[in-house]
Amino acid sequence: MKTAQVTAAFLMALGVASGAFGAHALRDSVPAPDLLIWEKAVLYQLIHALAALCVASSSGLLMSARARLAITWMLLVSIVIFSGTLYVLVLANMRWLGMITPLGGSGFIAAWLLLAFQLLKAPSNGTN
């Protein structure tokens, strides 16, 4: 789990740096619609890296280590696919990458659904 936690934390830092880069370096060099694409990539990266860090750091009472690891890596890989393709799309104007981006979005959805399923299976602590 430590590798997943470190990767998630690194992606959080990279997300903040990417946001700053977009706000300062790209502001005058790419069209406004591309800045919106960049901002969406940053937002999804930050949200999902934080989610991955939370899942990776959660207790074994909620789900098995195997499930936590699977969900965490689904989120992390999906960040690379979703946000990564959007970053390259903006920086290199490679519009065809927009066809790959939804694979990352589907990975996010699958990870969230798997998390929901695991939480539904978790034993109740009697306070619900």
Q: Residue 20's Cα: distance from chain center in Å?
A: 18
Q: Is residue 87 part of a domain?
A: yes
pLDDT surpasses 90 at 84:
yes
Instruction: Give me the pLDDT at residue 1, please.
Output: 78
pLDDT, one tens digit per residue, over 13-45 is 999 999 999 999 999 999 999 999 999 999 999
pLDDT surpasses 70 at 128:
no
> Could you tell me the CATH number of the domain that includes residue 83?
1.20.120
Name residue 84's amino acid.
Answer: G
70 in Cβ contact with 107 (< 8 Å): no
Number of domains in the chain: 1
What is the span of the domain harbouring residue 109?
2-120
